[in-house]
Chains A and B, each alone.
Chain A
């Protein structure tokens, strides 16, 4: 049961902690928190993830280059050389629903890195992006990224039932539950009694601590979180069973 909330805290604590977070650039980390040491932007987990190994032959002892490219726009684009999100992590789970294995979890390396980096923060004992909830974290649930096929080497494109998610820059994340179950949650329905808006506020803050994140889409009517008027947050009534993270175009918008 997550329920231990901070009733008060020092303003200085926030300033200091937040200064540490501001401007976080992505540094690939292993699930355990250590850097890979090969001076590239990929964690060992990403490099050793079987689909990525078969496609790109990444080497954990060498400096690999990022092959992924986001082409076009979120709602009209494709993904070139998609990177597969590792399915298992100590601090997140990937729920693929009716989709076949490794067909719904492809993104640009930058997007995959955001997911991994937030997961690492989420499990960090010091939890630098956590302000609301001091309870031990439960794993958060990642839903769809972009579609892809290792066999045909095609990634991205129109992905019903999503309007976006086309060029490897979008990720859906479940709202967190107080009962710790890794199940769906509709914050507008009766199971909203187990909705943990404290932990969810922290998780969103963790995502937002990375400069790459340029949009968080939620149903602001039901989410019970004060976003302080942050323009990064966009209201959408179809986001009651998950929130949506999107990132800036890693390779620019000219392609």
Chain B
């Protein structure tokens, strides 16, 4: 039922933003950024990566795979100019959208600091000026891009937008606001009516169905899961004793992706060891990753290996072990 609902919503959006959705792929696409601003895509049949795009930008980051798996987006940064110990011309990120063959699909948009896919053909984004700071930019606008036509629609914005996600479950963008007294933290923008409303939510990291959201507490590893309808915490605190939360773990189900904490030697109270620089070639340890189904409170798939740094559509991730890749999938 949930799948059907999401499918219908995606269909409606696609009808508006992309009449020909026939190109949408069914197999998940996993992509990664490699040194030299190269974008590679994984062929899951033989676990090999192939380069599909190379940017001549100063640097690239924030690579993502669109919901349909046939489009990728990234931020390609132009180099800033340094004088007197700082930037006199700051680096500028350009939102670049390509298909899986590396073809650029729309004219890059300058100044995009945060973005989120809002359907197969739609990206919402925040623009702003880069600043060396915790948030990293001073926001100035919020807008929506039609990838095919290149059409940009300005969106209403909260006072200081610093992050955004898309709720596929209700066709809305959720925008995090750096709240001053009396302001909401999370605002909702209905992408059908372009109306902005304040919410009482504490964060904007919603589960695929929208039934839950996760709130990462500031300056802490602590995460609280909230039930959206009541805006009250769900008690999963026992999980954190043995596991660390990575994020949502499925494109359709309300599943958490966890990494089990490795057993570590007991330390004396207040004992701190010096930090050590990593030597080249130093491998990250293998961990055990688990999917935890929130509604049933049950552990699902478990895989051991290294969580790959590649990105997939809608929270899908790969675990690598001995050169083989496996997809973490909710049953």
Contact = CB atoms under 8 A, between A and B. Distances in A.
Contact of A75 (B139, B218, B271): B218
A229 B259 CA distance: 14
A49 to B, nearest CB: 20
A23 B258 CA distance: 34
B36 to A, nearest CB: 9
Interface in B79-136: 82, 85-87, 91, 131-136
Contacts of B264: 229
A47 B139 CA distance: 37
Contact of B178 (A160, A183, A189, A226): A160
B166 interface: no
B275 A225 contact: yes
A239 B134 contact: yes
Contact of B135 (A93, A209, A238): A238
A205 B274 CA distance: 6
Contact of A184 (B58, B82, B270): B82
A73 B218 CA distance: 10
B272 A230 contact: yes
Given A23-B270, A205-B275, A228-B275, A160 B138 contact: yes
Nearest to B129: A161
B132 A241 contact: yes
Contacts of A201: 274-277
Contacts of A215: 219
Contacts of B58: 189-190
A129 interface: yes
B86 A184 contact: yes
Nearest to A104: B133
Contact of A164 (B160, B180, B218, B277): B218
Listed residue (A141, A163, A244) with the most chain B CB atoms within 10 angstroms of its CB: A163
Contact of B219 (A186, A211, A246): A246
Interface string A222-254: 001111111110101011011010100000000
A45 to B, nearest CB: 21
A231 B282 CA distance: 21
Contacts of A14: 274
A143 B85 contact: no
B275 A161 contact: no
B85 A226 contact: no
A211 B269 CA distance: 12
A184 B77 contact: no
B127 to A, nearest CB: 13
Contact of B273 (A141, A224, A228, A244): A228
Interface in A193-230: 197-198, 200-202, 204-205, 208-209, 211, 215, 217, 221, 224-230
Nearest to B261: A229
A188 interface: yes
A144 interface: yes
Given A172-B132, A225-B278, A183 B82 contact: yes
Contacts of A200: 277
A198 B274 CA distance: 11
B134 A161 contact: yes
B278 A164 contact: no
Given A160-B178, A221-B309, A234 B275 contact: no
B132 A158 contact: no
A162 B137 CA distance: 9
B220 interface: yes
A165 interface: yes
B276 A225 contact: yes
Contacts of A205: 274-275
Contacts of A236: 134
Kindly list the 6 A-B residue pairs having the minimum CB-CB distance in the complex, ordered from nearest. A189-B59, A161-B135, A201-B275, A161-B133, A198-B277, A197-B277
Interface of B: 58-59, 61, 77, 82, 85-87, 91, 131-139, 160, 162, 178, 180, 218-221, 264, 270-278, 282, 309
16 contacts: A18-B273, A75-B218, A95-B86, A97-B87, A143-B133, A161-B136, A161-B162, A162-B135, A188-B59, A201-B274, A211-B270, A226-B278, A234-B221, A238-B135, A239-B134, A241-B136
